[in-house]
Amino acid sequence: MIKMEDREALLEAVGYEARLAYIAFCAERCFAEAQRHKRATEQLGQEPLLREGVELLWAAARGSSPEPARVAAVRERVATFEKPDPGGEKLVFKRDFALVAIARVLTKGMRVLAEPGKAKPAFIVGVLDGPGILMATIYHNAMECSDKEIDVIDLALARLHDATPPIDRSLFDGIPDWTRGKVARLYAAGGVTDTLSEED
């Protein structure tokens, strides 16, 4: 696994569209993971703006200019997926955590689409937390699963080194996935309220 500062250096060396493709890939990883789980899959069917947000990122990576109104619609929707607990000690998730992870990546992605000046490596590299924390939350061997997911995304990042627009999903074809293990009891029971705590 490479260091965070090395990821930033790799992102620094690529253009705007490649940086968007990195965000899109991370969002797509969260989306694909959500489709592995029944509750998350059912909720995805009720949240079409999540898929639209992913597609807006891919379209921009191919060189298209996003429609500001659609970017704003996605930003507004994903902002509703988690809220601070009134007690201030936890986050309350309004959707399955897999959807929350997608929303977190899209929050950054839509901000970059709305404000291209935000496409700085130090900002973009943070989207890695979306799929990384998601796998740690869903699976029993949390850190091992998170590390395996991050390894996949690091392989995708390496492919962006010489990429030029238009950049689409096909750039990442053939990247091997990792074998999923036992689902964590808390996630299986639908009891995740934040990334570290369970409901009282």
Q: From CA 156, how far away is CA 3, in angstroms rounded?
A: 15
pLDDT tens readout for residues 61-119: 999 999 999 999 999 999 999 988 887 778 889 999 999 999 999 999 999 999 999 99
CB 165 within 8 A of CB 61: yes
CB 134 within 8 A of CB 98: yes
Give the residue among 66, 153, 62, 175 at the shortest CA–CA distance from 101.
153
Residue 91: the pLDDT is 85
Q: Is the pLDDT of residue 198 over 60?
A: no
Segment 119-136 mean pLDDT = 98
CATH topology of domain 4-165+179-188: YP_001051499.1 fold like (1.20.1590)
Give the residue among 126, 125, 124, 142 at the shortest CA–CA distance from 186.
142
pLDDT tens readout for residues 156-189: 999 999 899 999 999 999 999 999 999 999 999 9
Judged by DSSP in three states, 200 sits in coil
Looking at the DSSP assignment, which residues form a beta bridge with residue 82? 93
Phi then psi dihedrals of residue 82, to 5 deg: -145, 140
CB 129 within 8 A of CB 50: no
In this structure, what token pair is assigned to residue 47? 């949240």
